[in-house]
Amino acid sequence: MLLGFSFAALTAFGADRVTLTVTHELVEARPAETIAVPWAEISRAMPGALLQHLSVKDAAGRLLPYQVTNVAPEAKDPLNQGVAYGELLFQHDFVTGEKSATFVIAREEAVSPVFPAQVFARYVPERLDDFAWENDKVAHRTYGPALAAPAEPGQGKEVLVTSGLDVWCKRVSYPIVDRWYNKGHDHYHKDEGEGMDMYQVGGSRGCGGTGIWDGKTLAVARNYKSWKVLANGPIRAIFELTYDAWEAHGLKVTETKRFTVDAGHSLDQMDSTFTVVDGAAKELTVAIGLNKTPSDKGQDPMIELTPVAATGSLTQWVVQKSNGLLGTAVIVPSETFKGFAEDERNQLVLAQAVSGRPLRYYVGAGWSKAGEFTTREAWNAYVAAFARRAQSPLKVSFAP
């Protein structure tokens, strides 16, 4: 995942193509790295470039799937300058020892192909305002205002007040969110070949929900209030959820949570902006949680925790009777990491936040029945490598 980059001086050769070089400092492999290039740089190098008449090729000449984000859908572009576009995105698998890779971005006469979607996010009004998202590895959902609303007498509506995050475990790489909702609520709690919803959230933080910590207790928001999808594949989905103000140890706090979901990753990037309503520039201790009791009834789980202060990570490895083995994780970058804690329902990773400024962290899960993480050691190694990558961003430069 591209978490930051710097640009050298831009020099395009001709008006039809530009060469892009991506470097990094780690020796280890970095599979499915998302390379993000500001569209303004593409437009400057190739004036009038069109997102549907473009190709991205690696050094071997292979055509790569790409995506152009539209960060301002309400913006107009009468001069065809791409002013409403945000970034050009594509991915590369850096093998062990590969510290540099070169790509060519070119203008094409033919219309570019439509690339298969590997990520997906949407509001689900047909299931009590759920919001669900996924990539080729794992799916998640969280809960909206309709689920929190009281049930009318005799209505039988489910009621759950929580801002926790759910996990849907997948065996397959293709999108399943729409398919599972169409199957009906009961069916996706059974593994019928594609995976299952076996994770319990309730009033906990689930897998990566947040709250404000005062050293003893956790103050949390209710279900999300509103949603906004900013990008939706094929490589990256970006969306925001906002939460109404809640009482947090004498303060009134709101949260806007931005999710960045990339193909090929078991953890998502989260950027939460907590704002103290009175406008004061206050520091807050935020807690990101993992549910202490995440398994279905009858699974008799054995849970092993691995806190690693050096990387700001906490992993949970859940051994279940018949639902397989589940790994969950939270990573807080070292510059904001403040330690570990727990309450009655959650294991917590603490982070220092400033009112009105985004706090970045990473959360996710991996399931043994998907085949990639079959041991605790494999899951912990993945999380440790992810943390190292987060601290060592790619660098992007253009050259003739």
How much is the pLDDT for 187?
80
- In the chain, which residues fall in CATH 2.60.40.1180? 17-110
Reading the block at residue 194, the tokens are: 């594609």
- Residue 10: pLDDT above 50? no
Radius of gyration for the chain, computed over Cα atoms and rounded to the nearest angstrom? 22
Q: Which CATH class is domain 120-390?
A: mainly beta
**Model pLDDT for residues 31-52, shown as the tens digit of each residue:** 999 999 999 889 888 888 889 9
**Which one-letter amino acid corresponds to residue 23?**
T
Right CATH number for 17-110 from 3.20.10.10, 2.60.40.1180, 2.40.50.140, 3.90.190.20? 2.60.40.1180
Whether omega for the bond prior to residue 78 falls within 30 degrees of 0, making it cis, is no
Q: Are 304 and 376 in contact (CB under 8 A)?
A: yes
Element counts in the chain: helices (H) and strands (E): 4, 25
Instruction: Quickly tell me which residue has 């740089």 as its tokens.
Output: 41
Residue holding tokens 């794992």? Answer: 138
Q: What is the pTM of this model?
A: 0.94
- In whole angstroms, give the CA distance from residue 342 to residue 292: 9
In which band, very low, low, confident or very high, does the pLDDT at 316 lie, cut at 50, 70 and 90?
A: very high
* Two structure tokens written together for 254: 């709101």
Q: Please, where in the chain does CATH 2.70.98 lie?
A: 120-390
* Interval 183-241: pLDDT, tens: 766 688 899 999 999 999 999 999 999 999 999 999 999 999 999 999 999 999 999 99
